[in-house]
Amino acid sequence: MTAQGRRPVSAGRTVWLIARRELNARLRTKSFLIGTAVSLAILTAFVLMQSTLFAGEATSKIGLSGQATAIAGQLQEQAGARGVAVLTTSLDDLAAGEAMVADGELDVLVSGAPAALRVLVRETLDEDLRKALNAIVQEQVLRAQLAAVEVLDPDQVLDTVADATADVHALGPPDPSHDQRLAVALVIVAMLYMALLLYGTMVAHGVVEEKSSRVVEVLLATVRPWQLLLGKVVGLGLVGLAQFTLIGVVGLIMATATDVLTITGPATGTLVWGVVWYLLGYLFYATVFASAGSLVSRQEETQSVLLPITMVLVLAFVLGFGLLSRAPSGTATTLLSLLPPFSPILVPGRIALGTIQGWEIAVAAALSLLSVAALAWVGGRIYAGAALRTGGRLKVREALRD
């Protein structure tokens, strides 16, 4: 056929051709396989290190209500002597304290008289903390016995003191798989953070590279800016998806084969959800990264425009580790899970722990999709206005004006 008789290439095919170009450039390199192997090793070491740090530095949040507020100082001393860090809070409303325990905002709620403490926990009470509370009760009972007017039998006093313990109640039975679920949650959080940061940054650097080498001028002579941007985002996203899935599957097989992981079903489900939220998170962050990258023309300037985006992602990661470890069903965790910058990190982790409702997943996904659509529109305009502009760093307002 002649050039005049040739059918125009559809927009979808154009985007796919650009995406395939990125796939061919990345997947067939040795660096992809080496990077995957190194990422798997680093991830394993990182999670083990973080789990150890969290275990060693965990602080028990304890609410004190009623007469129990008087034992705050004693509790700090007794717990500290046993190597347990505690943070006490005085509560006026006992019912509110019980709700905070149920939500994970408090680890322990202590109420009642010092000589007859009532302890409420969600599932189990730390053994060292139990001993600290029992020591306080026994000290109070001993003081009462010694203050008695009548002459007491020493054996009877010792028996009475020995029988004095804190009355512990749990809201529910302990979950034997909790530790494994938490490990799976932290692993998926670390994997998502690494993938989103790596491939989001890669998109930005790819945009800057094409712009600095003037390749973008050639490409934009035949395709529209939004097609080029979408094709690059899709292509690198598929590379990241392949690596993310490969690392997850290999890690799951290794953990199951060595009996490190026995909850294969929940872990597999978490991995599937992790893939879904990788796609949502990647589309959200990669669009922003690409738009930011188009504002500069040199690789040396890239870090400065990417820093605010990177800091948001780092914040999501740090909050994810902390909230999932300490308060996976707390109010703050629930609210942050619904916000698109934090959803890709928090939602899969809460799914692994079984602390999220179906409606929360649906709302978080809907908000993420709406945000991606809005960012794609704005990002497309920024990219179109900035892709052919060289020189110094371009302001967002100037790019949107073009």
CATH architecture under which domain 59-170 falls: 3-Layer(aba) Sandwich (3.40)
DSSP for 303-329 reads: HHHHHHHHHHHHHHHHHHHHHHHH-TT
- The residue ranking higher by pLDDT, 64 or 292, is 64
pLDDT of residue 5: 46
Q: Name the residue among 371, 370, 347 with its Cα closest to residue 359.
A: 347
pTM over 0.85: no
Please give the single-letter amino acid code of residue 71. Answer: I
172: tokens are 């529910």
pLDDT in tens, 10-67: 767 777 777 777 777 666 666 666 767 776 676 666 555 554 544 444 678 899 999 9
Q: Confidence class of residue 402 from pLDDT cuts 50, 70 and 90?
A: low
Q: Does the pLDDT value for residue 146 go beyond 80?
A: no
Dmax (CA) for the chain in angstroms is 117
* Domain-wise residue ranges, the chain: 11-53+177-401, 59-170
Q: Does the pLDDT value for residue 99 go beyond 80?
A: yes
pLDDT in tens, 352-361: 998 999 999 9
Measured CA angle at 86 (ends 80, 87), to 5 deg: 140
Please give the single-letter amino acid code of residue 64. Answer: L
Of the spans 8-12, 113-117, 274-278, 386-390, which averages the highest pLDDT?
Answer: 274-278
User: Which run of H or of E encompasses 235?
Assistant: helix 225-257
User: In the β-sheet with 118-121, what is the strand arrangement from edge to edge?
Assistant: 85-91, 59-65, 108-111, 118-121, 167-170
